[in-house]
Structures are given as structure tokens and as C-alpha cells.
Chain A
Amino acid sequence: MVDPFTGERCLVLRPLVPDVAVVQVQVADAEGNAWVYGPRWDNGEQVRAAERAVVITERLVPTEVIRRHPEQTVIPGFRVSHVVQLPFGAHPTSVYRAYDYDAEEIRRYAEAAKTPAGLRAYLDEYVYGVRDHWEYLARIGGAERLNRLAADPILGY
């Protein structure tokens, strides 16, 4: 197209409008007002672009907490359709300032995923074979293992 300001020819791209965005954050309230610690990647843009947005949060806090530090809000609640409170929701990957990645578990998954049968066995054990997220967390080692992954407050991992 022709740029109306300079008259130069330029390429234009149609915006992406996903049906649903799913983002993981550290802190959110029940309205979906969400804080992202560390790099925000493209979480904010994904939510703004999508028709609907699901926010998965490590911690659910009262809106009063959000109102005390509104400058930390990356995602406004009015763009969010669902909020899911799910501690250790990114396991075995990491959440900055919350917990480190679980290298041992990722290695186990990578090994299993080398063959279709191995992947099937892994999914049966950790995905289809657990009642809910809590049973998943118990299966990967429970409180003891999760405590070992807790982020150092200075390093953030």
C-alpha cells in the first residue's frame, strides 16, 4: 500500500485476532487484573488482541492489593474473560520470582517423548492418569520437590 504520509510503498499486515489467549502470570485478582514480574514477553499484547482471554495465576489476591500498585498491572481485568488460580501451574517450566524449572522432570519428558509409545506412557501417567492438578503435583514429588524449586528472592530463579 502507499503510505499516506510519505507516499512510499509499504507492506501492510492484517492484525492477528486470536479467539482465545491463555497467559500465565504471577499475581491476579478475580477480575483478571494481572501483574507480570520480569519480562512481559507478549502476554499483554496477546490478551489485548484476542477475543477472549484466560489468565492463569500463581496467586489470587484481593483487588485492593492490585489498587495499591496499579503501575504493575500489565493486563487490565476488563479484557479478561476467565481467571484460573493454579499454583505451580507452569511446572515443569519456570515462573520468574516464583519457582525454577524442574530440569529433572523436563529431562524425563524429553526422554519419554523420543518415541510415540514413550510419550503415550508419559501422558497416561502425568496428564490422563491424574484426577487434577493437585494429584499431578503430588505425583511429581509433592511439597518436598516444589519447595526445592522455590525461587531465590535475589536471583529470581
Chain B
Amino acid sequence: MTDGVDYSLSELMAVAGARELSDGQIVAVGLGLPVVAAFLAKRTHAPHMTILFELGVVDPEPVAPGVGLADPRVWYRATMLSSFVDMLGTVLHRGLVDVGFLGGLEVDAYGNVNTTLLGDPKGVFRHFVGSGGANDIASLARETIIIIRHEARKLKESIAHITSPGYLTGGDSRRKAGLSGGPRRVITDKAILGFDAQSRRMQLLSIHPGTTLEDVLANLGFEPIVPRDLPTTEPPTQEQIRLIREEIDPEGMYTG
């Protein structure tokens, strides 16, 4: 932190998400940190990126943060308002979405995501919100970025239910199932992870400033691939933090 920028871990995650996006891409975004990441990218290095919300919102320019995708605040100044079938059925199925963001209750070592249910040892299941458009995005986007809290109960060797496919059982199992693409990054509040090109198992790419490798591994429910050379995640710049706090999420709804 040469310039001594003060930031929260949520802000660091949003900035890390923004860095994964390139100009000109079509990006499917869900609410929360992905919205902050996408708008940050759009206002900095990716002005010609197109942001899509699955319910049919194209390229909005909100002036206030919304509480959900159903909040018209996040549709403001869109260039098109269409429908789920248009976004998921034609844009996504046609293979036009470059990057999709995913969140979830649990993620396993191959990037499969559970948003459906959790079980306890007594066999009692608790049901959650389910997929929304996430399965379509996980299956059909050219690549996905998963944003999730770094806790051993969320990042596990195996998960209770696969709502949205990652690399399934690793190797070429995803391709054999008829799917291309797959998760590219997992961004947590402690580290950034990617996937090994052969085994498709999660591997550490960088750990956030102020975090130790021991802490990262102790809070993972599986053993990731750990490279010998493990850099520290690049911290946000002053301008990125200013944009988040003053323009994108001034109430700190997602990054506070």
C-alpha cells in the first residue's frame, strides 16, 4: 500500500472484480458487489462494456443504488428494457455473454455453486432462494466470476446441491456434459483463486494484503492448489475508492 489508501474488504473485492472485466465485453450482473464491480469497470477502464441484468435491463446508468434487481433505481437510463426470455433465452443462449457474476451459499473445489438448500447431519434441509438466472449464466456465459465470503462452511470439498455447474467433477467433465466456458475466478474477502487448466481444481492466485496464507487455508473447506510464488492482491487505487464511495455506492449498501 504505497499510497496508503484506506479501504474495506468489500471494496477490495469489488475492485478485484472490476479488474477481471475488459472493455467491449458483455457482462451479466447480479445484485450486490458484482454491480459495484461492473459499474466501477465501466467508469474506469471499460467504458464500452455492456451491463445486462437478467430480467431484461441493458446498459443502465443508475444514479442511486438499488436494494435488488427489481428496484427501478438500478434500471435508470437503460438503453433497453426487455425480458427474462430475451436476456437468458436469446442473448445468453446465443453465447454472447462474455462474463457472468455468481454468488452462492456454497462453492466446491471445482467451482460448482449451491444456492438451493443446506442440509444438516440429521437430514433436515433448509431451502434458500434457488437459482434465479444463475444456472443459465453458469452454464452458458463464456466465463464466470464467483464472489463469496471466505469461510470454511461456504468453500467446501463437496456441496449439498449443485444449482449452477462449475467444472463438475474436474478434468474435462464439464465439456463432456456439453458445456463450454466455466468459472475463471473466485473472489473472496481473503484471496483470489483461479482453476488449474488440467484438473480444474481451485488454485490460489493471490492473497489480500493483511491476510496470511495460514489464515486463507484455515478458512477453506478443501485444499486448493497453492503455487510456490503467491503474490499479494493489488490494493485499490485512490480513484477507485473515490468512485465507489462518492458515485457508485455512496450509502455503503454493498461496500460499507
A-side interface residues toward B, CB under 8 Å? 10-11, 38-45, 93-94, 96, 100-101, 103, 151, 155-157
CB-CB under 8 A from A93, the residues of chain B are 70
Q: How many A-B residue pairs have CB under 8 A?
A: 51
Q: Is the CB of B85 within 8 A of A39?
A: no
| Interface flags, B71-90, vs A, CB<8A=1, else 0 | 11101100001111100000
Q: How far is the CA of A96 from the CA of B71 in the complex (A)?
A: 9
Interface residues in B, total, Cβ within 8 A: 18
> In this assembly, does B224 line the interface, its C-beta being within 8 Å of a C-beta of chain A?
no
> In this assembly, does B18 line the interface, its C-beta being within 8 Å of a C-beta of chain A?
no
Q: Is the CB of A38 within 8 A of B83?
A: no
Minimum CB distance partner of B85 in chain A: A45
Given the known inter-chain contacts A40-B83, A41-B84, A42-B83, please indicate yes or no for A157 contacting B71, CB distance below 8 A.
yes
Q: Is the CB of A42 within 8 A of B85?
A: yes
Given the known inter-chain contacts A39-B55, A39-B56, A40-B56, please indicate yes or no for A157 contacting B73, CB distance below 8 A.
yes
CB-CB under 8 A from A155, the residues of chain B are 63, 72-73, 76
Q: How far is the CA of A30 from the CA of B56 in the complex (A)?
A: 27
Return 19 A-B CB contacts under 8 Å, by A number: A10-B178, A38-B72, A39-B53, A39-B82, A39-B83, A40-B56, A41-B55, A41-B56, A45-B85, A94-B70, A94-B72, A100-B72, A101-B67, A101-B71, A155-B76, A156-B76, A157-B72, A157-B73, A157-B76
Minimum CB distance partner of A38 in chain B: B81
Within 8 A of A (CB), among B15-74: 53, 55-57, 63, 67, 70-73
Q: Is the CB of B83 within 8 A of A41?
A: yes
CB-CB under 8 A from B73, the residues of chain A are 155, 157
Q: How far is the CA of A156 from the CA of B70 in the complex (A)?
A: 13
